[in-house]
Amino acid sequence: MTVTQETRGRILVVRVEREHKRNAIDVDTAQGIDVALNRLEDDPALWVGVLTGTQTVFSAGTDLKDGADARTERGGEYGLIRRSRVKPLIAAVEGVAFGGGFEIALACDLIVASTTARFALPETRRGVVATSGALFRAVRALPLHVAKELLITGAELGAERGYHFGLVNRLTEPGQALADAVALAEQICASSPVSVRATLAAISAQAEEQDRSGWQATAQAIQTVSASPDMEEGIAAFFERRSPEWRGG
């Protein structure tokens, strides 16, 4: 089992536990996340969710070998990215949140990260583009030029800098991200659940048109790179552990 669930009062803690693969998301893991988040949304006794990885890694994104179809009917990519939610979801990040792992965090409502956390979108270094929301969610969560830098260079963003820019809500000591995320969830539970859901629904409604435009732009970007030999070269170079030789056309 690569995804586990634990209830703490009205809080559901969802853990991705595939550390030998750096918590990369394959089909089974996406299904596990989907089941857990369906439970969060459907169970009236649960008010807040916390999504986390292991003590050393949040997620390295898509499993390039077994994750091509890592999406679900209700949640979309990873069982989360296109999900319609009304209950708050907090990402608790230790270690790397790269590629799709960063996009998972961006799809959550709040991010708690330890000082070990590192965020990156390395897709362009592999001849592809971020496909799971980062092309518009990163721009909303970060200053424009910072988001552009991450998206076109693959550079890493440390947790402290992410906290400075407002990407990270709470910055913790190593190993404390989950505990602090649960504490934040408990603060949310002190508010009316009806008020919390109505607030999040109102915020989501304002972003709906931007999201539609963002997904259209993402689809166009995917179409462009799919027609380029750079995509095949980038993926081959990744598996062969060498530097890619771009043709640039």
Residue 167 located in a structural domain: yes
For residue 210, what pLDDT is reported?
A: 94
Give the mean model confidence (pLDDT) for residues 90-104.
Answer: 98
Residue 189 located in a structural domain: no
Residue 193 located in a structural domain: no
Mean pLDDT of the chain, nearest integer = 96
**Residues catalogued as catalytic:** 103, 123
Residue 221 located in a structural domain: no
Residue 244 located in a structural domain: no
Residue 25 located in a structural domain: yes
pLDDT tens digits, 107-122: 999 999 999 999 999 9
Give the mean model confidence (pLDDT) for residues 59-71.
Answer: 86
- Least reliable range by pLDDT among 64-73, 89-98, 224-233, 236-245: 64-73
Residue 29 located in a structural domain: yes
What is the total count of domains within the chain? 1
Residue 183 located in a structural domain: no
| Torsion, CA 151, CA 155, CA 160, CA 162, rounded to 10 | 0
Q: Which CATH number does the domain housing residue 46 bear?
A: 3.90.226.10
Domain that holds residue 148: 3-173
